[in-house]
Amino acid sequence: MAGPDRTETAAQQSVAALDTSLTRRLDAIGTGAYVVDEEGRILAVNTRARDVLARTAEDLLGHDAHDLLHRDAHGQPLPRHRCGMRQAFHAGRTAQADEDYFARGDGSLLPIAWLLTPYDIGDDGPGTLVLFHTVGPTPGTAPEPEPTAGPLRELERLALLADATTRLTSTLDVDEALERLVGLVVPRLADWVIIDLITEHDEVWRTAVVHAEGGTLVRRDDLQGPMPPVPEASPMPLSRALRGVASTVAGPDTYQREPDSGIAVEQRRLFDITGMHSAAIAPIRSTRAVLGALTLGRAEDPVAFTPADLPLVEDIARRAGLALDNARLYQRQRKVAETMQNHLLPQMPGVPGLQMTVRYLPAPDASQVGGDWYDAFPMSDGSTALAVGDVVGHDLEAAAGMAQVRNMLRAYAWSQHEPPSRIVTRLDEALQHITDVDMATMIFARIEASDGDGQWQLSWTNAGHPPPLLISRDGLARYLTDGHGIVLGTGSGSPRPDATTLLAPGSTLVLYTDGLIEAPGHSLDEGLNRLSRHAAALAHRPLSSFTDHLLRRVRPADNEDDVALLALRTPSATARAGSR
């Protein structure tokens, strides 16, 4: 018996460690609510559910909801094959029922109406949200007031708001947030949705006009685009919403009067073209400003909006405003970060006889700059230095450390006429004393023309970095694995090796950071094989085309890191002959 008890205790502890934001979201719902995982175990439960069920959180969390709660009309355990909630749970669909029974903690039977719907719980995987409402008075409590709209309609409203909260707040991309907003309200609440947003320059842009045609959402691009300015004192519904004044129900008659502004003219045109007979218009606000307006319209649906519908539309618009504001702040931060990163990375020098190109791709989901970098610069002895590196981290400290490493490397390389290994050793010694860089990898190389035979000599040392890739003119690819030493920042003092090779005419050399070859769930060897295979196939392309296609083909779709890449190509024998 000890084994199962320990297993159950561990499961409950794991569930209790779930992000408390899920429980806080459930507490914002005005009825009993809980969330279960893929196996039907309760992950989170709100205060209302605990009170109605007369159970503590410890009584509920980690337990199978069916076994613990579901009963038949006589209070007996309900067989799983007869449980409608369990069947909907396994089917992964939204379902509801007006009367079922839950077992309370005191042994009494609780008649309930319920609604069940799939619910995204983020990193913990797919889940299911269950909303329930008592039917009749709860044993031991005062009778519960019935919602004016009826219990099931109230549950549907709460489920929609819970869905809106989850879907809208789980993205930091403006376009995706707008698409999710459209999918939430059409066709569930309306057959037309119009989203007007205020830009950073205080201009209004009709960003989305979407119509539900059967099961398909059709975007009306012809009705989208710039809008006239917002009048300061107009009483018309859209103008008021865009000023953040109020939500309003409107119809075609609202805009048949003499227009008081350009926006009123556009609204009359909208009603005429779409055939909407009723619309609910609400401001889209953040905590800081009015971001735009949400318009839900009905044309095919004969039921007109009423003022009683506005609180729901306002709640959805409010959640959309918070999501859009967060996404805009994120994208603004990302743009600043990418601009900073681009300014930190240098321009490539012109080297007679060599073609050279570089690329930097930021991590798709990172809001901050990273530590990946490249560099190339002339040396005092006439050779050219090449470097690619990666300072550990994805924040401003990593970017600052990257700039320090690059600038110190330039100074040492220019002033010290030594092999690459000695220059990197000096750099490593200095990092530990005059920078905040904890750890970094890099390749530092020197390239120069060989004596009159059309070949170029490459000398390099590798400080814990992925090996350079050399591709011949005929498409033979090999990694330069020599010269490999320990990463920077360990303080080990281990000697660093040098390596040298000759680059034949028409050879292509690729230096890159690990974001190009690493992907979750895949080995490093798989990434290296993928890179060499595609590089060999692209060897005949011009260098710029080679680089762009290589990045598109090789960079993993689920890449979580930035990528820096430096590619160079030596002149072919034909090119050398032509130059003579």
Query: If DSSP states are collapsed to H, E and C, what string results for 507-531?
Result: CEEEEECHHHCCCCCCCHHHHHHHH
**What 8-state DSSP symbol labels residue 78?**
P
Per-residue pLDDT of the chain (580 residues; tens, 9 = 90+): 344 444 444 444 444 445 466 777 777 777 889 999 888 899 999 888 999 999 999 999 999 999 999 999 888 898 888 888 988 888 878 888 888 999 999 889 999 988 888 887 766 667 888 999 888 655 555 444 444 333 446 667 777 777 777 778 778 888 888 999 998 899 889 999 999 999 988 899 999 999 999 879 999 999 999 999 999 889 999 999 999 988 999 999 999 888 899 999 999 999 999 999 999 999 999 888 999 999 999 999 999 999 888 989 999 999 999 889 888 887 776 666 666 556 566 677 888 889 999 998 877 654 455 678 899 999 988 899 999 999 886 566 676 778 888 889 999 999 888 999 999 999 999 887 887 788 899 999 999 998 767 789 999 999 999 999 999 999 999 999 999 999 998 888 889 999 999 999 999 999 999 999 988 888 999 999 999 999 999 999 999 999 999 999 998 877 778 899 999 999 986 655 554 4
Each as own residue / partner, the long-range contacts of residues 16-25 (CB below 8 Å, 24 or more positions apart, any chain) are 16/57, 16/61, 16/62, 18/43, 18/44, 18/124, 19/122, 19/124, 22/121, 25/162, 25/165, 25/166
Structure tokens at 305: 């909006």
CA distance 124 to 12: 15
CA distance 49 to 56: 10
Domain ranges of the chain: 2-163, 171-334, 345-579
Name the fold adopted by 345-579. Answer: Phosphatase 2c; domain 1 (3.60.40)
Query: What is the reported pTM?
Result: 0.51
Single-letter amino acid, residue 2: A
Burial of 567 per CB tally in 10 Å (0-12, 13-18, 19+):
buried
- In DSSP terms, which residues pair with 106 in a beta bridge? none
Residue 227 half-sphere exposure toward CB, CA atoms < 13 A: 31
Question: Residue 159: phi, psi to the nearest 5?
Answer: -65, -40
**What 8-state DSSP symbol labels residue 257?**
S
User: Which H or E element spans position 329?
Assistant: helix 310-344
Question: How many other C-beta atoms can be found within 10 angstroms of the C-beta atom of residue 496?
Answer: 21
Q: In what order do the strands lie in the sheet with 469-471?
A: 355-361, 563-569, 508-512, 469-471, 477-479
Residues of 127-164 as b/e, b for ≥16 C-beta within 10 angstroms? bbbbbbbbbeebeeeeeeeebeeebbebbbbbbbbbbb
CA distance 210 to 217: 6
Contact call for residues 120 and 166 (beta carbons, < 8 A): yes
With tokens 């691009």, the residue in question is: 221
Contact call for residues 210 and 186 (beta carbons, < 8 A): yes
Domains 171-334 and 345-579 share a fold: no
CA distance 102 to 109: 6
Residue 131: which region, alpha, beta or left (left: phi > 0; alpha: psi -120 to 50)?
A: beta
Burial of 74 per CB tally in 10 Å (0-12, 13-18, 19+):
exposed
CA distance 462 to 483: 6
Provide the CATH number for the domain formed by 2-163 in this structure: 3.30.450.20
Instruction: Give residues with Cβ within 8 angstroms of 187, minimum separation 6.
Output: 212
**What 8-state DSSP symbol labels residue 286?**
-
Query: Is domain 171-334 annotated with CATH 3.30.450.40?
Result: yes
Among 232, 33, 12, 9, smallest CA distance to 129 is for: 33
